[in-house]
């Protein structure tokens, strides 16, 4: 009974302390300046900062989904005088919703909800903050709300182009692809790549290995090794665990194609090219729209045509002109619409 009493009182004390802190703070309201895009579009660096918040589901340095957005926003920083806040690793919807709501209430001009699962929260919170603009991706639905933008990416396009080059490049005729789980962006990319490879050379043997995890680097590494043992001389992969596979490619002098970010720095000797997501292409359109008074209602795509997806070649890799020409032709074909990547939703 004594012990119980002690525990009771300590826990009560802890709550009391916390409540005191809470009470002391609740009187201090953080100033909510509603700077909602009142400044009309200025071409030069604007004097007044534009506040952008990113709420993302994974790490900001994952060389994948989250990093692509964080990098894009940073690329626009000087041009728009951006005041940037990032809350990463918030996969769980409740936590992300709290963050989105918090940033909205603190007077951010644009809150980027970078995760397909945040849709319901965005729909709810956007209604509460009509003066704040929300960008939700990747998705194609703005809920018919006037202050919600949506954005998505056609990652199969770059995949197709690089698949063509991979098939042309490969001498053994075996290509290895390391994937996480067969869903979403990874599936789209893998399917696009495979279709491109087969379209270039129908006899090419494309092996796909979905390891079952987005982040297990060791599994990715061993999967890559199994490809190498199977004779692959070109490899690619998707998701943040590919760093393991790139390492194996480097060790075995196997050519590598990357996606989502420029992976040249990982292995300058073997990385041929990367499909880089330049979200800033659509972000700048969004910010311009906000400054002009439109807070939402539009869906944006990044693809090869608008420069949102760019095949960035590794300058240090001695790529033959024929292979590069095949790549360029594929890019042009997709832009024209004459090539269909065949990777469906």
Partner 1 sequence: MSSKGRRLARHDWGRLLLSWFAMPMAALAALLIGAVMLWALGANPITGYRALGDGAFGSVNALTNTAIKAVPLVLVGVGICIAFRANVLNIGGEGQLVMGGLASTATALAVPGVPRPLLIPLVLLAGLAGGAIWGAIPGALKAYFNVNEILSTIMLNIVAVQVMNYLLSGPLIDKTFSGFSAIPQTKRLAPNADLPILVGNTKLHAGILVALLAAAVVYVLLWRTGLGFRLRAVGLSREASSYAGMPVKRTITLALTLSGAMAGLAGAVLVFGSASHRMVTDGTATGFTGSAGFNGIVAALFGGLHPLWTILSSFIFGGLLVGGNAVQRAVQVPSSLIVALNGLVVVFVVSIEYVRRRNRNRPLSFGMPQPVQEPSGTPEEVEL
Partner 2 sequence: MSKFLTISVLTATAASGIRLAAPFLLASLGETMGQRSGVLNLGVEGVMLLGAFGSYYTVLQTGDLWLAAIVGVAIGAIMGLITAVVSVTLKAEQGISGIGVFLFGLGMSDLLYQKLVGTPRPVAQLPAVNIPFLADIPGFGKMLFRQSLLVYLAILLVPALAFVLNRTTYGTKIKAVGENPAAADSLGVSVNRIRYSTVVLGNALAGLAGATLAMELGIFQQNLTQGAGFIAVALVYFGAWRPWGVLAGSLLYGLVAAIVLQWKTLGIIPLSASDLAATAPALITIVALVVVARRFRQPAALAKAYERGA
Report the nearest approach of partner 2 to the CB of residue 183 (Å). 10
Contacts to partner 1 from residues 119-158, by CB under 8 A = 119-121, 124, 137-140, 152-156
Of 150 and 245, CB closest to partner 2: 245
Q: Taking CB within 5 to 8 Å according to partner kind, which of partner 1, partner 2, none is near residue 325?
A: none
Report the nearest approach of partner 2 to the CB of residue 205 (Å). 10
Q: Taking CB within 5 to 8 Å according to partner kind, which of partner 1, partner 2, none is near residue 119?
A: partner 1
Q: Taking CB within 5 to 8 Å according to partner kind, which of partner 2, partner 1, none is near residue 246?
A: partner 2
Of 234 and 276, CB closest to partner 1: 276
Q: Is 74 in the site for partner 1 (CB under 8 A)?
A: no
Of 199 and 246, CB closest to partner 2: 246
Of 94 and 321, CB closest to partner 1: 94
Name which position in 62, 71, 88, 312 contacts partner 1 (CB under 8 A).
88
Catalog residues that contact partner 2 under the rule CB under 8 A: 59-63, 176, 181-182, 207-213, 215-219, 221-223, 225-227, 229-230, 240-241, 243-244, 246-247, 250-251, 265-267
Name which position in 34, 38, 42, 183 contacts partner 1 (CB under 8 A).
183
Of 131 and 251, CB closest to partner 2: 251
CA 238 to chain centre: 11
Of 160 and 267, CB closest to partner 1: 160
Report the nearest approach of partner 1 to the CB of residue 270 (Å). 27
Report the nearest approach of partner 2 to the CB of residue 54 (Å). 15
Cβ burial, residue 333 (10 Å; 0-12/13-18/19+): middle
């Amino acid at each position: 009974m004594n012990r119980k009493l002690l525990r009771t009182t300590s826990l009560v004390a802890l709550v009391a302390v916390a409540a005191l802190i809470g009470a002391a703070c609740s009187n201090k309201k953080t100033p909510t300046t509603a700077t909602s895009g009142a400044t009309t579009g200025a071409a030069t660096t604007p004097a007044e900062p534009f506040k952008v918040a990113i709420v993302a589901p994974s790490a900001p340095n994952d060389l994948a989904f989250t990093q692509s957005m964080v990098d894009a926003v940073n690329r626009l920083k000087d041009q728009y005088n951006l005041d940037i806040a990032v809350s990463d690793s918030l996969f769980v919807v409740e936590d992300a919703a709290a963050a989105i709501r918090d940033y909205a209430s603190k007077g951010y001009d644009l809150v980027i909800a970078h995760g397909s699962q945040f849709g319901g929260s965005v729909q709810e919170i956007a209604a509460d903050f009509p003066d704040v603009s929300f960008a939700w991706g990747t998705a194609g639905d703005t809920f018919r709300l006037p202050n919600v933008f949506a954005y998505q990416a056609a990652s199969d396009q770059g995949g197709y182009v690089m698949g063509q080059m991979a098939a042309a490049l490969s001498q053994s005729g075996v290509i290895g692809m390391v994937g996480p789980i067969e869903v979403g962006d990874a599936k789209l990319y893998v399917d696009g790549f495979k279709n491109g490879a087969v379209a270039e050379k129908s006899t090419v043997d494309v092996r796909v290995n979905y390891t079952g995890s987005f982040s297990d680097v060791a599994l990715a590494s061993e999967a890559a090794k199994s490809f190498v043992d199977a004779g692959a001389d070109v490899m690619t992969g998707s998701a943040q665990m590919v760093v393991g596979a790139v390492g194996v490619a480097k060790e075995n002098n196997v050519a590598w194609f990357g996606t989502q970010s420029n992976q040249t720095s990982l292995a300058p000797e073997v990385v041929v090219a990367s499909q880089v997501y330049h979200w800033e292409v659509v972000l700048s359109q969004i910010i311009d729209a906000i400054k002009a008074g439109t807070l939402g209602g539009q869906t944006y795509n990044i693809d090869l045509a608008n420069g949102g997806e760019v095949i960035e070649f590794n300058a240090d890799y001695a790529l033959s002109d024929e292979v590069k020409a095949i790549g360029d032709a594929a890019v042009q074909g997709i832009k024209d619409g004459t090539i269909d990547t065949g990777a469906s939703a």
